[in-house]
Amino acid sequence: MTVIDATRLAALKAKYAYGGGGTPLIPEIAEFIQDILDTIDVGALAAGSISTTELADNVLAASVAGRGKMATGFFTEAKATDAFAAASVADDRLASKLVKDSGRLAMGLVTFGAVGDCTSVDVGATVYPFNAAPTVTLGEWAYGGNGPASATNLAAGINGDTRNAGGPYYRAIASGSTVYIFQIVAGGNPAIARVGGAQPATAEGMVGGGSAEVKQEILVRHTVTAQEGTNVEVHVPLPFVPVNWTWVVLLATGALKPVTDVAVVAATPNRIVISTAGATHIAATDVIVVTAQS
C-alpha cells in the first residue's frame, strides 16, 4: 500500500494537471481530478491511513486496527463537534418542549342497590362471574347479604384474579355499596356491564383513559395589565391547540389567589380566555400561570 503524504499528493496533482506530467487530459477532466485531490486531508491520512487489508466488503474498518485509525484519524472530538455545530437543529425549528406521557389510567364503577343477582360483571373483555363458592384467582365472586357485602366480594374477585399472567387485569376498591374499578395499564376506556339480573343497579363505563403519547408542553406566566384588569378579560396565546391544560392565579407576591372567573379554550389564534364570573376577579399585576399540552 502506498501512503498518501504531502509529497505523494503533490506528485499526483502535477501528474494530472492539464498539460503537465506527460499525461494528456482535457481541461474539464483535469479540473475534476484536481478538485478530488484538493479534498484529501493529508493530516488525517499520512501514517494513519487505513489499508485495504483492514477493511472487508461493505464493512468500514472491520479490524480493531482499522477501527482505531478511523477513530483517531477521522472522527476526532474536534471534528465531530464542528460538524454537529454546523448541522444542529436551530432553536427556531423547535415549537416547544416535547414530552412523552405515561398514559392516563381510566376508572369506572358499579353500585349495588341491594344484594347482587347478576350472572357476571364484565369489564371490557374480562368477565368476573358469580359463583356461590367463588375461586377469587379466577375472578369469581359471590353475592353478599346486602349491597356493601356484595361490593366487597366483587372487589375481592377483581383484585384476586390471577388469569392475567399471574396478576389482576384491574384493581378495585369497595366503598359502601360501590366498587371503583381502575386500569392497571393505560389505554382506552373499557365498558363495564352487568350481565343478567338487576344488581349491581349502576354500571358506569371507564372514563379518563388514554395511551402514552408524545406531546408538546408549555408553561406560560402572564402578568395582568392595567387594562386587562379593568376589562376582567385576559387572552393567553398558545403555540398549539391545548388538549390538557390547567391555570391558576397568583398575587404579585406569589401567593395563590382564589378567583371565580372562568377560563375556556378558544381558536384562531389558539389561546386560553379568562373572563369575569362571580364575585372575585383577576386584577392588574396578578400573574396567570397556564400549563398546557397538545
Residues in contact with 156: Cβ distance below 8 Å, sequence separation at least 6, in sequence order: 136, 141
The Cα–Cα gap between 185 and 165 comes to 14
What architecture does CATH give domain 214-293?
Sandwich (2.60)
> Which pLDDT does position 58 carry in this prediction?
46
Q: pLDDT band at residue 217, thresholds of 50, 70 and 90?
A: confident
pLDDT reading at 103 higher than 50: yes
pLDDT reading at 182 higher than 90: yes
Helix residue spans in 131-264 (DSSP H): 147-160, 226-231
Beta bridge partners of 256: 250
> Which pLDDT does position 3 carry in this prediction?
52
pLDDT tens column, 53-62: 555 554 554 5
Cis peptide before 258 (omega within 30 of 0): no
Q: Pick from 271, 282, 280, 275: which is nearest to 224 by CA?
A: 282
The Cα–Cα gap between 255 and 251 comes to 5
Average pLDDT over residues 156-172: 94
| Range among 17-31, 86-100, 244-258 with highest mean pLDDT value | 244-258
> Which pLDDT does position 1 carry in this prediction?
45
pLDDT tens column, 105-157: 899 999 999 888 899 999 999 999 999 999 999 999 999 999 999 999 999 99
> Which pLDDT does position 54 carry in this prediction?
54
> Which pLDDT does position 208 carry in this prediction?
86
pTM, 2 dp: 0.53
Sheet holding 244-250, edge to edge: 97-100, 214-223, 287-293, 244-250
Q: Which three cell numbers stand for residue 265?
A: 379554550
The Cα–Cα gap between 276 and 231 comes to 8
